[in-house]
Amino acid sequence: MAFIQMEYKSEALLRGTSIKVILPTDGMSGKWEPPFQTVYFLPGYSTTAMELITYLNLRKQAELKGIAIVLPDGENLFYQDLPQRMTFYSTYVGKELVEVTRKLFPLSHRREDTYIAGISMGGYGALYNGMRYRHTFSKVAAISPASDPCVLMSGENVEAYGFSWKQFEGIFGSRKMFYGSEWDMENMWTKLSLENRPELFLCCGTEDRAVGNAVEKFENVLKKAGVSHVYKEGHGDHEIYYWEQMMDSVFSFLAGIEEKTKDKLVIPD
């Protein structure tokens, strides 16, 4: 496994930015040959790429499944283009980051080998940008996603999670502007486009107090609309413990293999 920390000047963000890259180069679970399958993994609200690497065993999953992982930082903007702030975060993760990393690292350029995933706010970013850039990403994994930011940021416990309604308005505008738009995941995944819709993996803890109700509603809408997807639950709140338990399921889905068939590292002879 190779771990790379890189800084470069982003055109979409109009500033320097840092990314983390994990490449499956050690051959501890089989010899993986480049160009590598790749997942662009989006951190959640107030979380950095380094925090995810520290708390979740992403290096292990990269090595086990033969998938390179690219992690940007999240910046609390729900991975949206915000022209009024001259910050184009959707363009950054869905287009620029893919182009830059493909130039610098031995990553596959094929859509069928290119995925996007994320946790919480990053899960929303994966749902949104996976569909917006569906010609780039063939699979989306949304882990405890903030599938309805309007509900999340105007709820009774909003201050406990560090959100505010003014923040929602600064990103998405009014409630009226949000629902029925491309920002509304129920609308985007069921009505806006059927062409090249990515494969979808969705999961959430059964005790998730932050996004659980919204994810359950989103999943029911997908079922009613006949949108093919994988949905998994499991005991846990909106927490690292639950997310770590789901890593084999997430990366098995991305790799196209059965769960628990590649979940143990072995020391090569």
Asked if residue 168 is part of any domain, the answer here is yes
Name the band, by pLDDT with cuts 50, 70 and 90, for residue 28.
low
Residue 31 predicted with pLDDT over 90? no
Q: How many CB atoms lie within 10 A of CB 151?
A: 14
User: What domain range is 18 assigned to?
Assistant: 2-253
Contacts of 268 (CB under 8 A, 6+ apart): 27, 28
Token readout for 188 is: 């985007």
Name the band, by pLDDT with cuts 50, 70 and 90, for residue 268.
low
Residue 94 predicted with pLDDT over 70? yes
Question: DSSP 3-state assignment of 235?
Answer: coil
Lowest mean pLDDT among 25-29, 60-64, 89-93, 174-178: 25-29
Q: How many CB atoms lie within 10 A of CB 126?
A: 31
What pLDDT was estimated at residue 74? 80
Asked if residue 269 is part of any domain, the answer here is no
What pLDDT was estimated at residue 157? 54
Question: pLDDT (tens digit, 9 = 90+) per residue, 126-183?
Answer: 999 999 999 999 999 999 999 999 998 876 555 556 788 888 999 999 999 999 999 9
Residue 233: which CATH number?
Answer: 3.40.50.1820
Task: Give me the phi and psi of 22, to 5 degrees please.
Answer: -115, 125
Average pLDDT of the residues of the chain: 93
Asked if residue 146 is part of any domain, the answer here is yes
Residue 33 predicted with pLDDT over 80? yes
Cα distances (angstroms) measured from residue 230 to each of 25, 41, 195, 269? 29, 18, 19, 37
Asked if residue 67 is part of any domain, the answer here is yes
What pLDDT was estimated at residue 258? 97
Q: Are 85 and 55 in contact (CB under 8 A)?
A: no
CA distance 136 to 20: 20
Asked if residue 125 is part of any domain, the answer here is yes
Question: pLDDT (tens digit, 9 = 90+) per residue, 48-64?
Answer: 999 999 999 999 999 99
3 class by beta-carbon count within 10 Å (0-12 exposed, 13-18 middle, 19+ buried) = middle
Asked if residue 259 is part of any domain, the answer here is no
CA distance 25 to 32: 7
Name the band, by pLDDT with cuts 50, 70 and 90, for residue 196.
confident
First to last CA, the chain: 17
Contacts of 269 (CB under 8 A, 6+ apart): none
| Percent of the chain scoring above 70 in pLDDT | 94
The count of domains in the chain is 1
Q: Are 138 and 201 in contact (CB under 8 A)?
A: no
Asked if residue 247 is part of any domain, the answer here is yes
**Report field, pTM of the whole predicted structure over 0.85:** yes
- Beta bridge pairs of residue 118: 42, 142
Asked if residue 267 is part of any domain, the answer here is no
What pLDDT was estimated at residue 251? 98
